[in-house]
Amino acid sequence: MQRAEREFLQGNFEKALRSYGLILKDNPLLDEAKIGVYLSDLGSDSKDEAQALFDYYQIIKDEKENAVDIIDKLIDSLDTTKQSLHKLLIDPIEEQLEYGDGIRYSDFLKLVEDRKSFRKAFEDIMFSTKVVISDKKEFIDFVTKLSEEGFDEMALRYLDATSTLFDNDQDVLALYDVIKGNQ
């Protein structure tokens, strides 16, 4: 146990994890080793948090009967907080990077709703922003609306450029007839 704690304190979290794991193999109910495993694992991701929790555990383990429960709750709370922060901060940033200077079609439709006109919304973004279309249904809707609003040439360019993606899909090929009908 002393070796495992020493490895942990030195920041050798992998070695500490192995040492705590060996202790648990022989003593599967030893709370101190369980905490060591959790904190060593946490230490490989977040050294400062693991060290703070380890220090806190060392202080309270002799004073409080429920020290293990306290540390478990703190670890759970820390994990929940990290997940919440990831959803609030990281996910939107990753999404923005994924779409670059474009917007999803669903967001574009919200813009159409705000402007009360597909034409106005499309004219507002057509030179500065890409519309990111993620499925066939969105594509058909987008090309159809382009044609209905008089953007026939652009609708044909979209259709020609993506025809290989949809192979010989009859719904997509039918868009050529829709565009011809609107001309």
Rounded CA-CA distance 80/91 in Å is: 15
**Average pLDDT in the 78-97 region?**
58
Distances, alpha carbon 122 to alpha carbons 2, 74, 108, 109, 113, in Å: 68, 50, 8, 10, 12
Note down the domain range covering 170: 101-182
Q: Domain end: 88, 120, 153, which one? A: 88
pTM recorded for the entire structure: 0.46
**Average pLDDT in the 155-172 region?**
80
User: What is the CA angle 24-30-34, rounded to 5?
Assistant: 65
| Residue 154 sits in the same domain as residue 177 | yes
pLDDT digits (tens, 9 = 90+) for 34-69: 889 988 988 887 888 888 888 888 888 888 888 888
Q: Domain end: 88, 116, 136, which one? A: 88
Q: Domain end: 44, 66, 88, which one? A: 88
| Residue 7 sits in the same domain as residue 84 | yes
Backbone angles phi, psi at 132, to 5 degrees: -90, 115
pLDDT score recorded for residue 97: 42
| Residue 79 sits in the same domain as residue 109 | no
**Average pLDDT in the 117-130 region?**
84
SS3 104: strand
In the chain, the percentage of residues whose pLDDT exceeds 90 is 21
pLDDT digits (tens, 9 = 90+) for 1-21: 999 999 999 999 999 999 999
| Residue 20 sits in the same domain as residue 66 | yes
| Residue 77 sits in the same domain as residue 130 | no
Residue type, 82: K
pLDDT score recorded for residue 86: 55
Better pLDDT: 117 or 170: 117
Closest CA to 121 of 96, 142, 137: 142
Domain count, the chain: 2
